[in-house]
Amino acid sequence: MTHVFPRHTKARPPRAARGEGAYIIDETGKRYLDGSGGAAVSCLGHSDPDVTQAIKDQADRIAFAHTGFFTSEPAERLADRLIAHAPQGIERVYFVSGGSEAVEAALKLGRQYFLEKGESSRTRFIARRQSYHGNTLGALGTGGNAWRREPFAPLMVETSHIAPCYEYRGRQADETPEAYGLRVADELEAELNRVGPENVIGFVAEPVVGATLGAVPSVPGYFKRIREICDRHGILLILDEVMCGMGRTGTLFACEGDDVRPDIVTIAKGLGAGYQPIGAMLCSGEIYAAIEGGSGFFQHGHTYIGHPVACAAADVVVSKLTDGGMTERAARMGEVLGAALIARFGQHPHIGDIRGRGMFRGLELVEDRESKTPFDPARGINKRIKAAAFEAGLICYPMGGTIDGRQGDHVLLAPPFILTEDQVGELVDKLATAL
């Protein structure tokens, strides 16, 4: 008997007792290879001694000081470290406690930025269908996942949605990837013209789509065109890197891989690497200057922002991702993982696509490879694979997305960057058993 809210099922899952590198061990001693880092969280694996030491040291010094009164050395150090490696033009960091809070802060900062500039008609956002940006009301309102939105409609943030850049299902047979990328990017222009660009704050998108589509990068040229359209209409480009950021795709910020410069970027999961709940919203110097020169401060805040222990942990994480070479390792081991998946599953009759970047890989599961027909949702394929993999001692992240009104299934893999080649083999073997 427990009084904790159940998450997805009424059956109580096993208790996680210990973490050891790439493994989680439950209270019965069963070992699970963490093939998805939870949901792209545990980039350094479990029980990293340097991160846990930093947590202890900071907790000994001071665990909490309200940011209404104090700043802290770990928060300042972490902000400096992030900015030293951030995309061009990004100059300020606002710490929060997770991904949804980071997106929420981004949306509100966008609104306040235009208010400071006297552009009060800008209240709307444009995002993409089949997207997820978090579960708080603002972030949920931005996301384009119909089944998540509907129970809570009407939502408070007015957002309209264009097509995702999803080559596997979107590109016509006679279309080059570049032509496809421009065609879907131009949907943004059409939507801006429909709703009136003077009413829009920004366009929100994940550089590499995580949970809803399963590690889908955009095609080359897509984000360049998106940036041009945003600039032409004076709207903000808000990139949600909560899942794909922090080294996951082989660069510290995923947008580096798309050679695109955001106005605002959100990060979370890999930032705390599972050791502490922390997220951040980073913005351009220009946005910050408008706030600073206007009302003087961002009209937003939470009690736990910039928590010293969370920042101390994340500072070690980011130093390992950058100076410690872990992002390069994600790029290198990501190639090994990608090649192993293609070697094992490239001809699998029910795997239609194997994709991704770095340690962020997705497999699309289909009834028929030729026609790309999704499985009947009633078969619950992704849930069954999750259960079978768990039974076999593998944690992976299967999900179903809506494809043309039907449920499609995919498996997302986002293992820790410390994975060895032998562990890549173990992951692939266990996934094969589950499939």
- Regarding 289 and contact with ligand PMP (CB under 6 A), the answer is no
Q: 26 CB contacts (<8 Å, ≥6 apart)?
A: 14, 15, 16, 17, 32
Q: How far is the CB of 33 from ligand PMP (least distance, A)?
A: 21
Stretch that binds ligand PMP, among 88-96, 164-172, 239-247, 320-328 (CB under 6 A): 239-247
- Comparing CB distances to ligand PMP, the nearer of 72 and 266 is 266
Angle at 410 (CA atoms; ends 405, 411), nearest 5 degrees: 155
Contact by Cβ (8 Å): 358, 249:
yes
The identity of residue 333, as a single letter, is M
One residue of 43, 51, 78, 103 binding ligand PMP per CB under 6 A: 103
Smallest Cα–Cα separation from 313: which of 72, 4, 1, 15?
72
- Comparing CB distances to ligand PMP, the nearer of 133 and 161 is 133
- Comparing CB distances to ligand PMP, the nearer of 290 and 399 is 399
- Regarding 140 and contact with ligand PMP (CB under 6 A), the answer is no
Q: How far is the CB of 88 from ligand PMP (least distance, A)?
A: 22
Q: In the numeric block, which tokens belong to residue 263?
A: 């106005």
C-alpha span between 127 and 259 (Å, rounded): 20
- Regarding 181 and contact with ligand PMP (CB under 6 A), the answer is no
Tell me the backbone φ, ψ of residue 161, rounded to 5 degrees: -125, 135
- Regarding 96 and contact with ligand PMP (CB under 6 A), the answer is no
- Regarding 164 and contact with ligand PMP (CB under 6 A), the answer is no
One residue of 242, 305, 365, 431 binding ligand PMP per CB under 6 A: 242
Stretch that binds ligand PMP, among 160-168, 187-195, 203-211, 301-309 (CB under 6 A): 203-211
Q: How many CB atoms lie within 10 A of CB 314?
A: 31
- Regarding 243 and contact with ligand PMP (CB under 6 A), the answer is yes
DSSP classification of residue 378: G
Longest dimension (CA), the chain: 63
Which residue spans within 347-429 are E strands per DSSP?
351-357, 360-368, 373-374, 394-395, 397-403, 406-413
C-alpha span between 19 and 34 (Å, rounded): 10
- Regarding 137 and contact with ligand PMP (CB under 6 A), the answer is no
- Regarding 39 and contact with ligand PMP (CB under 6 A), the answer is yes
Residue ranges that bind ligand PMP, judged by CB under 6 A: 39, 98-100, 103, 132-134, 206, 210-211, 240, 242-243, 268
